[in-house]
């Protein structure tokens, strides 16, 4: 039942930010808690890219891996994530990239999830909440590294 929603303005274009978030295999290099990520499958259809990926997250002695379907919708500047298997009862995540008049992007990040185990939820919940708050900043910093700091 925990949810987290945020909007963050960045000075990079929506196309660049979409590409950065869509490049999920790079997440372990910069994303808090993400220890490994592997893409099981990738298929293109009707202008969409559908990925199935395993993400391993960890904090101290706790490690969990879960599988998600990631749907890249470049024409809409939206990335939808749907949980398939792992320690959650459910997980839904969406990224939306909206152009702004200054040439930058407003990034809307939404996540809604619940762990299957109350014990795991109690142990990981507060840490996940902190991590989600850091995600937007981590992606903005990564964009500055990849694309340079906008003037």
CATH number of the domain residue 54 falls in: 3.30.530.20
Structurally, how many domains does the chain consist of?
Answer: 1
Does residue 33 register a pLDDT over 70? yes
Q: Give the bridge partners for 5, in sequence order.
A: 110
Does residue 123 register a pLDDT over 80? no
pLDDT at 106: 97
Q: Which domain holds residue 93?
A: 3-147
Q: How far is CA 129 from CA 55, 114, 150, in A?
A: 17, 12, 29
Tokens 């989600």 appear where?
A: 132
Instruction: Please compute the mean of the pLDDT values over residues 70-92 and round it to a whole number.
Output: 95
Q: What confidence category does residue 125 fall into, taking pLDDT thresholds of 50, 70 and 90?
A: low
Please name the residue ranges forming H helices in the chain: 14-22, 118-147
| pTM of structure | 0.90
- Tokens in use for 69? 């379907």
* Cα three-residue angle 8-3-32, rounded to 5 degrees: 60
């Amino acid at each position: 039942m925990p949810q987290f929603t945020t909007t963050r303005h960045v000075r990079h274009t929506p196309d660049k930010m979409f590409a950065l978030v869509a490049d999920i295999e790079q997440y372990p290099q910069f994303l808090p808690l993400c220890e490994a990520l592997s893409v099981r499958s990738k298929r293109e259809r009707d202008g969409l890219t559908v990925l199935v990926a395993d993400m391993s997250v960890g904090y101290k002695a706790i490690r969990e891996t879960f599988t998600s379907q990631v749907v890249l919708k470049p024409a809409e500047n939206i990335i939808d994530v749907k949980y398939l298997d792992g320690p959650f009862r459910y997980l839904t995540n969406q990224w939306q990239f909206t152009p702004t008049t200054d040439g930058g992007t407003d990034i809307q990040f939404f996540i809604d999830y619940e762990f299957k185990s109350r014990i795991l939820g109690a142990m990981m919940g507060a840490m996940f909440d902190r991590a989600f708050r850091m995600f937007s900043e981590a992606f903005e910093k990564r964009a500055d590294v990849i694309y340079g700091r906008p003037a």
